[in-house]
Structure 1
Amino acid sequence: MVSLINLIRNENMKLYKRTGTWVMIGLIFLVVISLGLFSKFAMQTNDNINWKEELRVENAQLKQTVKDSPLMGVGDNYAKQHIEINTYRIDNNIPPLESQSLWGFMVDATNFTGIVALFTIVVAAGIVASEFTWGTIKLLLIRPVSRSKILVSKYISTILFALFSLLVLSGLSFLIGSLLFGFDGTQHPYLVYNDGQVVEQNMVMYIISLLGFNSIDILMMVTLAFMISTVFRSSSLAIGISLFLMFTGPQIVQLLSNYDWVKYILFANTNFQQYSNGVPLVEGMTMTFSIIVLSVYFIIFITLTWVIFQKRDVAA
């Protein structure tokens, strides 16, 4: 019997033999390098700006905004917590994180995990559907291996591509940030408001947590694309639906945040930064709640994928 490891190896060989795969990896390189050059040479430096005075002015504006037109729910909490963090910076001489620094650049680079999600969705959408499109699914299924192993090998290969892309993104951002900005200011902590007080966190752990939190969103969207690709045997449909939901889902949830039932929607739970920042989207939501909701969605996606692939007739 063909082992699962051999199947995964074969899927990775097919994936990395494609020119398109390396084009996507190359685009990650291009985006990170472009961001570094822009931050270094195009953005204005703040060397001559009194950051403490800036934060005092910002606090005054936030207080006035809350007083004149009180924000509701999440916005009100965010403003008050931002004031507390600014005050803590001033009192403890901890300057704000700047884009023109190693840590600031790496934090900015984590925003490009959306590009990793986009590329991985493309891979997930095509890794099963393309077998049906090219007619190679018949040759694949006549091998002495179960359909479950074939499906699992394709899914794991997709996840490994996402991890490889994230590794490229984080490693390159550290390299470019070090070369362009050096290591000045790397001793400063990251500040977060938690349990009614400002807490200092290690900056490296904060960046790792950002990548980890963003990976949850990638995992769910890739699993959704993988399911659609398997169910409908169409990579274009899987890409279209997944990208539409990825870009519009969070905005729709934000618009409906005043309704309690919105917390059961997938996209209300994929952003785990809402818990590290102490500002959940809907009052009463917890990290445990989101993990349970996401687990239910994940099981539904995987079950549908497995059942339909098992029953799919490819004889015709």
Structure 2
Amino acid sequence: MIGLIKNEWLKLVKQRGTRVMIALLVLITCLFAGLMKYEESHQADSPTPGWQEKLQAENAAYKKELTEEQNLTEVRKDYLEGQININEYRLQHNLPVDTDMDMQSFVEGSSDLLSFAGLFVLIAAAGIVANEHTWGTIKLLLTRPVSRVKILFSKYAAVILFGLFLLAVAFTLSSLLGLVLFGASGSSIHLAYENGQVVEQSMIFHLLKVYVFKFVDVLMFATLAFMVSAVFRSSSLAIGLSSFLLFIGPTVTMLLSMRYEWTKYLLFANTDLLQFEEGRTLVSGMTMEFSLVVLAVYYAVFQILAFIVFSKRDVAA
């Protein structure tokens, strides 16, 4: 099995398109770093209010929302209470809020660029099975004394490894660029609100959690594209359909969530796990555990469809 995965990985990374996607991710990250540095240089002389006054104003706004807003979700209430307690903790322990750009804040901001990594992984997943049919190499591949399940699993594993590789590239490159351009003068502690109390966490742990949560989105769309590729044997259809859902699905889901509670069962309402960290769930009643269960169901359906169809299809036709 390890040999099969290694073979699929080598086939994937040797493709010119794969190298282009890696280069594009590096270029986009560098351009983003340059833009942030340019904006910082033009804001350096702008006066900023004291951090204590800023936190006190935030707490006043949060408390007003808690008392006056009648339709707050439990997640939103927990978020507001957490932010109030975190701000009070900062004031009591004299822990200023970092307002200047530093390595940590740049790395966290760069996590938004993982949407490009998601698109690249989607393209790889869409083609890794379908291209075998297009190139006519699927018959030769299946003549090997290996089960179809193992062959398909090795291809999927290669796609996931590619996604993890892009994740590592994005995190490492943004860390290096942030260190060089902005320095590491920021706080090494991240404050979180857990079980009714404020806890201090490592900033590295927090950043890794942000990237892992965003990778879940990448994983689900890659699995969807992989399923379409295996079922329909068309990389164009897999790329087109998955890309369409990637860009249109969240917007449509958000619009539907304003009127229908059943929206919480849709895939796109659950892929963004950071919504629970930021207190902005689409539908009332959603929790982290609920979304993980929904994602697990979709993931299982995608995989079952892909493996059943690939195992049963007559490729000689």
Q: Is TM-score (shorter-chain normalized) higher than 0.5?
A: yes
Secondary structure of the 1:7 match is: helix
User: In the alignment, what sits opposite 1:216?
Assistant: 216
User: In the alignment, what sits opposite 1:17?
Assistant: 14
User: In the alignment, what sits opposite 1:150?
Assistant: 151
User: In the alignment, what sits opposite 2:33?
Assistant: 36
Measure the CA separation in 1 of the matches of 2:65 and 2:222: 40
Q: Is the 8 A contact 2:107 2:174 kept in 1?
A: yes
TM-score (norm 2): 0.87
User: In the alignment, what sits opposite 1:168?
Assistant: 169
Q: Is the 8 A contact 1:192 1:276 kept in 2?
A: no
User: In the alignment, what sits opposite 1:263?
Assistant: 264
Measure the CA separation in 2 of the matches of 1:280 and 1:116: 24
One-letter code of the match for 1:45? A
Task: Single out whichever of 138-147 and 149-158 deviates more from structure 2.
Answer: 138-147
Match of 2:5 among 5, 8, 31: 8
Task: Single out whichever of 44-53 and 13-22 deviates more from structure 2.
Answer: 44-53
Q: Does 1:308 align with 2:305?
A: no
Residues 46 and 137 of structure 1, relative CA distance in 2, 3 Å threshold: farther
After TM superposition, the structure 1 = structure 2 runs for residues 1-316 of structure 1, keeping only pairs within 5 Å, are 4-43=1-40, 44-45=43-44, 48-49=47-48, 50-60=50-60, 72-73=72-73, 78=79, 81-98=82-99, 100-187=101-188, 189-255=189-255, 256=257, 259-277=260-278, 280-316=281-317
C-alpha deviation, 1:81, in angstroms: 4.7
How many residue pairs get aligned? The number is 312
Measure the CA separation in 1 of the matches of 2:293 and 2:79: 25
Measure the CA separation in 2 of the matches of 1:142 and 1:235: 22
Residues 97 and 222 of structure 1, relative CA distance in 2, 3 Å threshold: farther
Measure the CA separation in 2 of the matches of 1:115 and 1:228: 20
C-alpha deviation, 1:58, in angstroms: 4.3
Measure the CA separation in 2 of the matches of 1:72 and 1:61: 14
Q: Is the 8 A contact 1:15 1:21 kept in 2?
A: yes
Q: Is the 8 A contact 1:77 1:279 kept in 2?
A: no
Measure the CA separation in 2 of the matches of 1:48 and 1:238: 51
One-letter code of the match for 1:12? W
Q: Is the 8 A contact 1:39 1:99 kept in 2?
A: no
Secondary structure of the 1:42 match is: helix
Q: Is the 8 A contact 1:213 1:271 kept in 2?
A: yes
C-alpha deviation, 1:94, in angstroms: 2.6
One-letter code of the match for 2:128? I
Measure the CA separation in 1 of the matches of 2:232 and 2:129: 10
TM-score (norm 1): 0.87
Q: Cα RMSD over matched residues? A: 2.7
Measure the CA separation in 2 of the matches of 1:277 and 1:35: 23
One-letter code of the match for 1:37? G
C-alpha deviation, 1:119, in angstroms: 0.3
Stretches of structure 1 that go unaligned for 5 or more consecutive residues are none
Q: Is the 8 A contact 2:76 2:279 kept in 1?
A: no
* Percent of pairs with identical residues: 47
Q: Is the 8 A contact 1:97 1:103 kept in 2?
A: no
